[in-house]
Amino acid sequence: MDEDDRTTSRHHARLLFENGAYFIEDIWSTNGTKVNGQEIKGKTRLHDKDRLKIGQAVLLFSERERVITVIDSRGKETRYSLDKIKMREDIRIGRCPVNEIPLDKEDRTASRHHARVIFENNEYFIEDICSAGGTFVNGKKIGRKRKLEDEDEIKIGKALMQFRSRGMEEKAYGAFVE
């Protein structure tokens, strides 16, 4: 999400997975959260192709693909899914546009090739690739590699991401990027 968007609260909404279904819940944001143009109150079930509005950002929910598509204020769409890690072995994060999760190229606090998310032995890990500024999980700088747990907050440079993972038997993986 665009950090200059003053209509988005620091902790605006959260995505939940309960009893085989996805829900979104506004968590006391200043400007509210909308699903398909309607402001939500409390926890709201999500359906395939629902349009979420958080501040100026529009997110498209895809139940089939288990992804969140972020549309920024310039209309650029970015899709993030952790399913592809199992096929590729890793997802790289950094300022360089060749990374699977490219960060703002003007953010000099993030390295060009900063970190990667790895799937091994049925678990997810984040590995810092000798970055200058370090990789932080839940506010603490990691060493070389750290196991990721559901809802861990990852900070790389100025970018803040939330890792979202579900049990292997449900095959419901995804990432929610703030």
- CATH value at residue 167: 2.60.200.20
The reported pLDDT for the residue numbered 172 is 31
- Domain annotation covers residue 3: no
Assess whether 60 and 103 both reside in one domain.
no
Q: Tokens for 50?
A: 């629902």
The reported pLDDT for the residue numbered 99 is 84
Assess whether 91 and 166 both reside in one domain.
yes
68: nearest Cα among 15, 11, 122: 15
Q: Which of 30, 56, 80 is the last residue of a domain?
A: 80
Assess whether 130 and 153 both reside in one domain.
yes
pLDDT at residue 24 above 70? yes
Assess whether 45 and 106 both reside in one domain.
no
Assess whether 114 and 163 both reside in one domain.
yes
Q: Which of 56, 80, 104 is the last residue of a domain?
A: 80
Q: Tokens for 21?
A: 């279904």
Instruction: Tell me the pLDDT band of 89, cut-offs 50, 70 and 90.
Output: low
pLDDT at residue 177 above 50? no
- Domain annotation covers residue 5: no
Instruction: Note whether 142 and 136 are within 8 A (CB).
Output: yes
pLDDT at residue 31 above 90? no
Q: Which of 80, 114, 129 is the last residue of a domain?
A: 80
- Domain annotation covers residue 1: no
The reported pLDDT for the residue numbered 116 is 92
- Domain annotation covers residue 117: yes
- Domain annotation covers residue 6: no
158: nearest Cα among 140, 130, 138, 178: 178
158-172 average pLDDT score = 57
Q: Lowest-confidence range among 26-30, 40-44, 75-79, 108-112?
A: 75-79
The reported pLDDT for the residue numbered 114 is 95
Instruction: Tell me the pLDDT band of 11, cut-offs 50, 70 and 90.
Output: low
DSSP 79-132: EE-STTHHHHSEEEEESSTTSSEEPPTT-TTS-TT-EEEEEETTEEEEEE-S-S
- Domain annotation covers residue 8: no
Instruction: Tell me the pLDDT band of 137, cut-offs 50, 70 and 90.
Output: very high
Assess whether 18 and 73 both reside in one domain.
yes
The reported pLDDT for the residue numbered 56 is 72
Please give the tally of structural domains in the chain: 2
Assess whether 105 and 64 both reside in one domain.
no
Assess whether 60 and 133 both reside in one domain.
no
Q: State which residues form the domain around 61.
A: 13-80
**Cα dihedral across residues 98, 77, 86, 138: positive or negative:** positive
Assess whether 115 and 64 both reside in one domain.
no
44-56 pLDDT, tens digit each: 999 888 898 877 7
Distance, CA of 5 to CA of 11 (rounded, Å)? 13
